[in-house]
Amino acid sequence: MLSDRVSAIKPSPTLAMNTRAKEMKASGVDVISFGVGEPDFDTPENIKEAAIKAIRDGFTKYTPVDGIPPLKEAIADKLRADNSVEYRPEEIIVSCGAKHSLYNIAQALFNRGDEVIIPAPYWVSYPAQVLLNDAKPVFVETHEEDSFMLRPEELEKHITGRTRALILNYPSNPTGLTYNRAALEAIAGLALRHDFYIISDEIYEKILYDGAGHICFPSLGADIRQKTILVNGLSKSHAMTGWRIGYAAGPSGIIKAMSKIQGQSTSNPSSISQAAAVEALRGPQDFISGMVSEFDKRRRYIIDELNSIEGISCIVPDGAFYAFPGITGLLGKTYNGRKVDDSSGLSLYLLEEAHIALVPGIAFGAEGYIRMSYATSMDNIREGIKRLKTAVAGAE
Ligand SMILES: *Cc1c(COP(=O)(O)O)cnc(C)c1O
């Protein structure tokens, strides 16, 4: 028998779909994947060189659990320069990816029975991490017509005496939308009034289009800064998903508690990756704008193409690298003799018949949508869209 804890969570549905797609690929099927959640760019050369140098210099031993001082300083400088927030080194922890920072926060803050508010559509790991820490995810729906921003009055309806935290993510995975200042201020006001924490996952802050700006949640004011744990990392901004470097910044008591937990689980993130991360933050940043302008070209293409398909309507994302089209117009129909009733059915049909992999909206708590990552080549996107059009044409 396994623990109740692990039985309470389902395997990540995005991973499940990827696994199925990989199996098909392995058996020789030419699958085009829109399922990926990582940049398709290589980690910049200067960052790789810093890692190689770290190995050659013998920087291959344990480090302080919460990260090496030069990296924490580089993070503090980045937060000051990019985000107008001041954090001392003891208010920062480096973890094995932003996902690990988020997990440490859950371990440090949640007790059995605590309620954690998660706006839907959400990133799949949030509810799982809440459940793994014996707390209760409370979902609040957001709406496409509000650009998927959480309405303060809807948030307020879900606040109870057990509300411990709200997990925010902007620019958002999966919707690609971001928050404006007024919306963030309304949320901050409620957090202060009802005394709960904001866990602000800003991992996509650098991937924004059309001049959209990013407002860092703790920059809203001195009092909300004390109720915020900011999460960020290098996976998306510097194409470093495999290196496993993320970080959190927040009140020192919480960061210290996270460090205590990290010290008894993973200990420090890889020394080599930390050395590389210092270079990522201190070195030239032009890689990012090059990557973002390439994403932008694909974004424009894929959104236009999706909107040209009858039954699909797609909002224009502000950031990240996902299209999140509404597909209700495709449901309830029969395609090549197969009845498709929901986002999972559609995704499976598209994988098996059209050989394109994507993630059903239900995985993100949003039936009636699918998520298509455009972190793949323009050629793949063109071919995938062609297959999608053929697959949904001629429905009965
Ligand atoms: C990719 C991602 C992360 C985690 O990234 P790490 O590789 O663990 O640093 C966190 N939040 C969201 C919303 C993501 O998409």
pLDDT tens digits, 374-392: 999 999 999 999 999 999 9
Ligand 1: distance of its center to the CA of 112 in Å?
25
pLDDT digits (tens, 9 = 90+) for 125-165: 999 999 999 999 999 999 999 999 999 999 999 999 999 99
Q: Residue 260 Cα, ligand 1 centroid: separation in angstroms?
A: 22
Task: From the CA of 245, give the closest atom in ligand 1.
Answer: 9
253 or 37, greater pLDDT: 253
Statement: residue 48 has pLDDT above 80: yes
DSSP assignment of 130-164 equals HHHTT-EEEEEE--GGGTTPPPHHHHHHT--TTEE
State the distance from the centre of ligand 1 to the C-alpha of 202, rounded, in angstroms.
9
Mean pLDDT computed over every residue of the chain: 96
Q: 317 CA to middle of ligand 1, Å?
A: 18
Counting residues of the chain whose pLDDT is more than 90, the rounded percentage is 92
Please report which confidence band the pLDDT of residue 4 belongs to, taking 50, 70 and 90 as the band edges. Answer: confident
151 within 8 A of 184, measured Cβ to Cβ: no
Residue whose CB lies within 8 A of the most ligand 1 atoms, among 104, 169, 203, for a mutation test: 203
Domain boundaries, the chain: 4-42+287-392, 45-282
Pocket test residue of 172, 235, 244, 245 for ligand 1, highest count of atoms within 8 A of CB: 235
Interior/surface letters 365-376, b for 16+ CB within 10 angstroms, e for the rest? bbebbbbbbbbb
The second-level CATH assignment, the architecture, of 45-282 is 3-Layer(aba) Sandwich (3.40)
CATH code for the part of the protein at 4-42+287-392? 3.90.1150.10
The residue to mutate among 96, 105, 201, having the most atoms of ligand 1 within 8 angstroms of its beta carbon, is 201
Task: Name the pLDDT band for 17 (thresholds 50, 70, 90).
Answer: confident
How would residue 14 be classed by pLDDT, with cut points 50, 70 and 90?
low
Distance 203 CA to ligand 1 centre (A): 6
Q: Where are the alpha helices (DSSP H) in the chain?
A: 4-7, 13-26, 45-56, 69-83, 98-109, 125-132, 152-157, 181-194, 222-225, 252-263, 271-282, 286-307, 343-349, 378-392
CB 85 within 8 A of CB 216: yes
Q: List pocket residues of ligand 1, CB cut-off 6 Å.
A: 37, 97-99, 123, 169, 173, 201, 203, 233, 235-236, 241, 246
Pocket mutation for ligand 1, best pick of 173, 177, 179, 373 (most atoms within 8 Å of C-beta): 173
- Enter the tokens of residue 288: 């990012």
Q: How far is ligand 1, taken at its centre, from the CA of residue 282, in Å?
A: 21
Find the 14 Cα to ligand 1 centroid distance in Å.
Answer: 13
Q: Looking at residue 7, what is its pLDDT?
A: 85
Model confidence at 13, pLDDT cuts 50, 70, 90, reads low
Query: In degrees, to the nearest 5, what angle opens at C-alpha 184 toward C-alphas 178 and 187?
Result: 130
What is the reported pLDDT for 97? 98
Tell how far the Cα of 22 is from the centroid of ligand 1, in angstroms.
Answer: 21
pLDDT of residue 64: 98
243-264: pLDDT as tens digits: 999 999 999 999 999 999 999 9
Q: Which atom of ligand 1 is nearest to the CA of 123?
A: 13
CA distance 141 to 301: 29
Distance, CA of 281 to CA of 70 (rounded, Å): 11
For the stretch 205-240, pLDDT in tens is 999 999 999 999 999 999 999 999 999 999 999 999
Q: Which residue has the higher pLDDT, 360 or 16?
A: 360
Say which range, 14-23, 116-125, 290-299, 323-332, has the weakest mean pLDDT: 14-23
* pLDDT of res. 6: 87
18 — pLDDT class (breaks 50, 70, 90): confident
> What's the whole-model pTM score?
0.96
Q: How confident is the model at residue 369 (pLDDT cuts 50, 70, 90)?
A: very high
Residue 37 and residue 373: Cα distance in Å, rounded?
A: 7
Q: Is 93 helix (H, G, I), strand (E, B) or coil?
A: strand
pLDDT for residue 21? 83
Q: What is the mean pLDDT of residues 305-329?
A: 97
